[in-house]
C-alpha cells in the first residue's frame, strides 16, 4: 500500500518548555521556532490559572516559512511531513488533566490561517489512495477503536467519520446501520468499504454538518483536525449531532500537509496539539472534560498516535 510520507523533519524536544526542563536549547530543525516557548508559557498559565496572553502564537515570518519549505521539500504543498515528537516531560495523558482554561478561547483568527489559503477543493481534487500514517500507527488506532466503539451491528448505532478518505481504519468487518463519511474527495469516499454513505463538503467553507440533532453515537476524525479553520463552529456542530453521551474521537500523529494545516498547529508540537484539540471541546461547550491518550506503538520507531476524546454531556 503506498504511503504518503514526505521528508521526516528532525524531531524536537517537548514544547511545554515551561513545564518540561531544558526543552528549547537543543531544538533542531525547522520546528524549533520562537513561537513554541510563547505557547508553552501560555499553556503554563492555563495550568496555573493565570490570565492568558492576548495572543499565544505570533505570526510566523516569511523566512521561517521559506526555511521550512526548503527543509521539508514540500514545494507545491503536496508532501505529508512529520514534525515534533513528544519525548519526555508530562505524559500525553497528563496534559489534559486539570487544565484551568482561560475564560475566553485564547486563539485568534490569525492562528487559523494557513500557508496555502487557496481552495481546499483544489488541493483535494485528485484522489490520494495512500495512507497518511505508518502501519503500526494504523494498527494502534484500529485496536483503540475496537475497544471503545459500540459492538459491530448494534441496532440503531450511527457513526460519522469526518475528514474521511478511502480508509477509516475501523476494525476489520466492522459494520453499523449507518456509517457516514465526510470528506473532500468523492473518489476516495466512494472506495471506502466501511461507509454506508458519504458527503463531500468543505468544512472550512461550510462548517454546518448536514445531519439532524442527536443522531450519532460516535464521531471520528483521523489525522485531519489540524486542517479545520473554524474549529469551534465544527465542534459545536459535532455536539449538536451527537446523541447525549455520544463519543468524539480526534486522533492525530506528528505528520501533516503542513501548507494546509493551521498555523497554530505547524508552529507547535505534539503536547500542544493535545491542548489545542482539548480547547476545541472545552470552548465548544456541552462536552465532558476532554481527555488525552497516547496510543503510539513502538515509541520512537514508528509514527506516534495520539487521541483526544470527549463525550457529549448527557444533560445537553
Ligand X SMILES: C[S@@+](CC[C@H](N)C(=O)[O-])C[C@H]1O[C@@H](n2cnc3c(N)ncnc32)[C@H](O)[C@@H]1O
Name the minimum Å distance from CB 167 to ligand X. Answer: 5
Give the shortest CB-78-to-ligand X separation in angstroms.
Answer: 12
Taking the complex as a whole, the smallest distance from the CB of residue 121 to ligand X amounts, in Å, to 8
Contacting positions for ligand X (CB under 6 A): 120, 124, 132, 163-165, 167, 183-185, 202-204, 222-224, 227
Q: What's the closest the beta carbon of residue 255 comes to ligand X, in angstroms?
A: 8
| Cβ proximity to ligand X, 23 vs 221, nearer residue | 221
C-beta of 43 vs 305, nearer to ligand X: 305
- Cβ proximity to ligand X: between 103 and 109 the closer is 109
Which of 153, 308, 150, 288 has its CA nearest to residue 226?
Answer: 308
The three cell numbers of residue 87 are: 519525548
Residue 191: count of CB within 10 angstroms of its CB: 14
CB of 116 to ligand X, least distance (A): 11
Residues present in the chain in total: 316
Identify any residues that bridge with 301 across adjacent strands, giving them in sequence order: none
| CB nearer ligand X, residue 223 or residue 275 | 223
Residue nearer to ligand X on the CB measure, 80 or 92: 80
Amino acid at each position: 500500500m503506498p504511503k504518503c510520507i514526505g521528508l521526516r523533519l528532525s524531531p524536537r524536544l517537548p514544547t511545554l518548555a515551561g513545564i518540561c526542563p531544558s526543552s528549547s536549547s537543543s531544538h533542531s530543525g525547522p520546528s524549533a521556532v520562537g513561537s513554541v516557548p510563547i505557547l508553552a508559557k501560555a499553556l503554563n498559565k492555563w495550568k496555573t490559572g493565570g490570565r492568558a496572553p492576548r495572543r499565544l502564537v505570533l505570526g510566523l515570518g516569511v523566512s521561517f516559512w521559506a526555511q521550512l519549505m526548503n527543509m521539508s521539500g514540500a514545494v507545491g504543498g503536496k508532501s505529508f511531513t512529520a514534525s515534533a515528537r513528544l519525548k519526555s516531560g508530562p505524559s500525553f495523558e497528563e496534559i489534559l488533566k486539570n487544565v484551568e482554561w482561560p475564560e475566553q478561547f485564547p486563539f485568534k483568527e490569525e492562528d487559523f490561517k494557513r500557508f496555502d489559503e487557496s481552495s481546499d477543493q483544489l488541493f483535494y481534487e485528485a484522489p490520494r489512495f495512500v495512507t497518511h500514517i505508518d502501519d503500526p500507527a494504523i494498527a494502534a488506532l484500529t485496536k483503540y477503536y475496537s475497544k471503545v466503539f459500540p459492538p459491530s451491528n448494534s441496532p440503531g448505532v450511527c457513526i460519522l467519520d469526518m475528514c474521511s478518505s478511502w480508509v477509516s481504519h475501523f476494525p476489520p468487518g466492522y459494520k453499523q446501520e449507518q456509517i457516514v463519511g465526510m470528506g473532500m474527495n468523492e473518489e476516495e469516499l466512494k472506495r471506502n468499504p466501511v461507509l454506508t454513505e458519504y458527503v463531500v463538503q468543505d468544512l472550512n467553507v461550510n462548517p454546518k454538518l448536514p445531519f439532524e440533532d442527536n443522531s450519532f453515537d460516535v464521531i471520528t476524525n483521523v489525522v485531519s483536525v489540524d486542517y479545520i479553520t473554524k474549529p469551534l463552529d465544527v465542534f459545536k456542530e459535532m455536539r449538536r449531532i451527537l446523541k447525549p453521551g455520544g463519543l468524539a474521537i480526534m486522533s492525530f500523529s506528528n505528520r501533516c500537509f503542513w501548507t494546509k494545516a493551521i498555523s497554530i498547529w505547524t508552529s507547535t508540537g505534539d503536547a500542544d496539539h493535545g491542548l489545542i484539540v482539548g480547547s476545541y471541546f472545552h470552548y465548544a461547550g456541552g462536552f465532558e472534560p476532554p481527555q488525552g491518550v497516547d496510543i503510539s506503538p513502538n515509541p520512537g520507531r514508528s509514527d506516534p498516535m495520539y487521541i483526544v476524546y470527549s463525550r457529549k454531556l448527557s444533560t445537553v
